[in-house]
């Protein structure tokens, strides 16, 4: 071991000892919250195919990151991304963050399930992550997000949308007092921006993680809404699934939607507890990516957040899945390519086909080969046994009788 290695080892030991003696405020956020993060994500260990993505703003040391990796339940794989914001311009940080979100989205697409852990005490970084993760379609409902920070709730209002509309939790580290503790919060969908997050659990070094409400961690928030939001739903004519009719009234033109898809929407609205307003796409399209990168139709309206639901049914494609989330399949259609068989044509000279030279050559070859084989077998049997075959000619000429369709006369 070299002298430099020994010195580095001693320096690390001194830093570790000092960190254990210093107040909580002198430690990194991820170090303080490591136990709470591990306890919050322990349910992920039940699924042996989940991956974990850890994203930091550069304020966490590599040692803390790698120490945390061993505690995260991620038998499906681990990925660490870092976007350093210290000393960089905001445009550079945003560019790097957009590339990181794009790479993380690629990892999410090839994984069975993904948990994203974001650690930062920078409100600008968290706001940029919230914007780009939604814009880059990093988070789908099966993706779990855990935001770890020391910032108070009043400084996290910019996370309202991502925390309420995705499968997300917020873990706030409080080290202002002598007893360090962590609080876990969640937001329900379609709540106002100034709505206070619901505290779901708390964690302390002595007691560990304990739930403080009847709500569970990473609750299925879209199972049923506690209040009744009003959603905007887009649909267009698509027989036999949906029909659209218009009627002129004194108040203007009234549009009526009917069909099986509308019946399904009514069932969902009743069971999940929401009301809705129906609209038609202005361009009458279902949705496709155009040359300038924008989207048309109902897919574009969902992407631009002009509507909440595109009723469909939509065909599932990889390109659409990059900008919208699909529900479970409700209709399975089978597409086939058919071609006509054509009209049968009668050849008036077809009776001459059996007289073709190839047919005669085959017949003559058979007349030569088969009698020869029978003759050789008969001679072999006559020489090896005491039986004498006196009707060899009959055995040979039987093939000629078959060809001429002549029977053997009875005597």
The span from the CA of 206 to the CA of 290, in Å, is 57
The span from the CA of 187 to the CA of 281, in Å, is 31
Q: Residue 394: exposed, middle, or buried by beta-carbon count in 10 A (0-12, 13-18, 19+)?
A: exposed
Number of H helices, E strands in the chain: 12, 13
The span from the CA of 122 to the CA of 156, in Å, is 10
The span from the CA of 142 to the CA of 67, in Å, is 26
Low-confidence ranges of the chain (pLDDT < 50): 1-24, 44
Which contacts (CB < 8 Å, 24+ apart) does range 386-393 have? none
By C-alpha distance, which of 188, 171, 189, 169 is closest to 180?
171
With beta carbons less than 8 A apart as the criterion, state whether 236 and 280 touch: yes
pLDDT at site 247: 85
How many angstroms separate the most distant Cα atoms in the chain? 126
User: Exposure string (b/e) for 257-272, b if CB count within 10 Å is 16 or more?
Assistant: bebebbebbeebeeee
With beta carbons less than 8 A apart as the criterion, state whether 131 and 99 touch: no
pLDDT at site 8: 30
DSSP, residue by residue, 298-331? HHHHHHTTS-SEE-S-----HHHHTTS-------
């Amino acid at each position: 071991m070299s002298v430099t290695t020994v010195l580095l080892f001693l320096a690390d030991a001194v830093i570790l000892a000092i960190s254990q003696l210093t107040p909580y405020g002198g430690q990194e956020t991820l170090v303080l919250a490591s136990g709470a993060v591990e306890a919050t994500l322990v349910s992920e260990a039940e699924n042996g195919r989940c991956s974990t993505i850890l994203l930091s703003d550069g304020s966490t040391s590599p040692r803390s990151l790698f120490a945390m990796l061993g505690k995260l339940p991620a038998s499906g794989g681990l990925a660490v991304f870092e976007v350093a914001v210290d000393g960089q311009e905001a445009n550079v940080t945003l560019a790097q963050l957009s590339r990181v979100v794009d790479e993380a989205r690629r990892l999410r697409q090839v994984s069975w399930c993904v948990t994203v852990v974001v650690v930062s005490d920078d409100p600008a970084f968290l706001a940029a992550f919230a914007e780009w993760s939604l814009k880059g379609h990093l988070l789908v409902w099966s993706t779990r997000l855990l935001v770890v920070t020391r910032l108070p709730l009043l400084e996290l209002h910019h996370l309202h949308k991502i925390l309420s509309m995705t499968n997300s939790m917020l873990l706030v580290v409080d080290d202002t007092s002598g007893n360090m503790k962590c609080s876990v919060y969640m937001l329900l969908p379609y709540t106002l921006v100034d709505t206070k997050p619901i505290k779901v659990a708390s964690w302390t070094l002595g007691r560990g993680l304990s739930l403080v409400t009847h709500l569970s961690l990473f609750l299925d928030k879209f199972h049923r809404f506690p209040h009744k939001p009003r959603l905007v739903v887009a649909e267009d004519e698509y027989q036999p699934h949906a029909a659209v009719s218009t009627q002129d009234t004194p108040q203007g033109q009234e549009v009526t939607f009917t069909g099986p898809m509308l019946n399904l929407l009514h069932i969902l609205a009743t069971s999940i507890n929401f009301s809705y307003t129906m609209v038609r796409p202005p361009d009458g399209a279902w949705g496709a990516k155009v040359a300038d990168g924008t989207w048309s139709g109902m897919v574009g309206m969902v992407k631009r957040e002009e509507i909440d639901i595109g009723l469909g049914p939509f065909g599932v494609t990889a390109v659409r899945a990059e900008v919208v989330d699909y529900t479970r399949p409700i209709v399975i259609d089978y597409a086939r390519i058919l071609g006509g068989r054509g009209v049968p044509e009668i050849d008036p000279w077809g009776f001459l086909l059996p007289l073709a030279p190839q047919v005669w050559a085959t017949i003559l070859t058979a007349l030569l080969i088969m009698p020869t084989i029978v003759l050789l077998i008969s001679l072999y049997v006559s020489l090896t046994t005491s039986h004498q075959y006196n009707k060899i000619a009959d055995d040979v000429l039987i093939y000629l009788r078959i060809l001429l369709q002549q029977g053997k006369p009875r005597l």
